[in-house]
Each structure stands twice: as structure tokens, then as C-alpha cells.
Amino acid sequence: MDEILDILANNARITIDEVAKLTGKKVEEIKKTITKYEKDGVIVKYKTVINHDLVRDSNSFVRALIEVSVTPQKDVGFDNVAERIYSFPEVTSCYLVSGAYDLLLVVEGENIQTVSNFVASKLAPMENVRSTATHFLLKKYKEDGQILKKKSDGKRLNISY
């Protein structure tokens, strides 16, 4: 991956100035490259990884992985039915996968009830959806390469040769 992307992927809040210092490149050059990435859709958006377990209102947030088997359509395959599904705001991620089912969704809601309602009233009844299997997430250990457990303090000595 490009060095600038790698830095931003780890810290979206870093300033252009700092990126320039870390890469040894000129500020103008960094600015231009980032703008181009944004325009081309390489950089889609800047996000924050949140450990919802530690947020006070975590009781009003649930996440589920849903396996969906669908019947593909002539010419367009899975794309149309995928679009109909991922257009729901409840669906935060949608992947076409190989294996025992076709689409893997990440669905978020305020509680189990809202997610269940979404599955029962929106997703399962859709014309091309053959079956669904819902897995509610119980605990997050690692997300986007980040281990969510607070790291213990370093074990290195403060000084050594």
C-alpha cells in the first residue's frame, strides 16, 4: 500500500504537515496526493474505531452478522439483490462470499428486537432471498486490525544501551 494511505489507515486524524514530516515529502505533494485519493474514491471516508463496550449507552447498540442465501438473477448475478439489501441503513457492511451462503451482512440496531424486526419484515421476505441465519455479536476482541483490550504498560526498562 502507498505510504500515505498506510499512515492514514492507522491514524485518520494526523495532519498533512505531520504526514509530510513522517515521509520526508513536501506538504504540497501530500496535499495533492490525498486530494486525488479522495476524488478517485480510493479514500472513501475517515472513520474512528470505537470500542462500544466502553461507551455508556452500549446497552442500546447491537450488531449481528447475517448469512443470506439468495437466488442469483440472469445477467446481473447477485448485484441487484445485493443493492436492494445494502441500501437499508441498518446494513453497515455487505459482502459477497464463497461457500455455504452468498451474502454476509453486518447489521446494526438499537437492540435485539430492532435487528430481529429488520430480518423478519424486510430481509427474509424479499423475493430472491432463500434463507437467512443471524448471529448476534456477544463481544468484540479485535476490529480492523486493532486489538480492543487496553494494552498493558511497556515492560522495557526506561534506559538501556
Partner 1 sequence: MDIKISKKVEQLAPSGIRAFFDLVLGMKDVISLGVGEPDFVTPWNIREKAIHSLEEGFTSYTSNKGMPELRKQIATFLKNRYGLEYDFDEEILITVGVSEGLDLVMRAILNPGDKVMVQEPVYVSYGPVVELAGGKVILLKTDIKNGFKLTPQQIEQGCKQGAKAFMINYPCNPTGASYKRSELEAIAKIIKKYNVLVISDEIYDELTYDFDHVPFSSLPGMKERVIYFNGFSKAYAMTGFRIGYACGPQKVIAAMTKIHQYTMLCASITGQIAASEALKNGSRSMLEMKREYDRRRKYIVGALNQIGLDCHNPEGAFYVFPSIKKTGQTSIAFAQGLLQKEKVALVPGVAFGKNCDQHIRISYASSYDNLKEAILRIKKYIKA
Where b means 16+ CB within 10 Å and e means fewer, 54-79 reads: eeeeeeeebbbebbbebeeeeeeebe
Q: Among 5, 7, 27, 104, which residue sits at the site for partner 1 (rule: CB under 8 A)?
A: 7
Residues 6+ positions from 12 with CB-CB distance below 8 Å = 46, 47, 48
Contact between 160 and partner 1 by CB under 8 A: the answer reads: yes
Contact between 22 and partner 1 by CB under 8 A: the answer reads: yes
Contact predicate 31/37, CB 8 Å: no
Q: Among 2, 9, 21, 73, which residue sits at the site for partner 1 (rule: CB under 8 A)?
A: 21
Contact predicate 139/52, CB 8 Å: no
* Minimum separation from the CB atom of position 109 to partner 1 (A): 34
Contact between 42 and partner 1 by CB under 8 A: the answer reads: no
Contact predicate 46/54, CB 8 Å: no
Contact between 141 and partner 1 by CB under 8 A: the answer reads: no
Contact between 157 and partner 1 by CB under 8 A: the answer reads: yes
Q: Among 3, 28, 53, 79, which residue sits at the site for partner 1 (rule: CB under 8 A)?
A: 3
d(CA 98, CA 131): 16
Judged by beta carbon, residue 7 or residue 106, the one nearer partner 1 is 7
Which parts of this chain interact with partner 1 (CB under 8 A)?
Answer: 3, 6-7, 18, 21-24, 154, 156-161
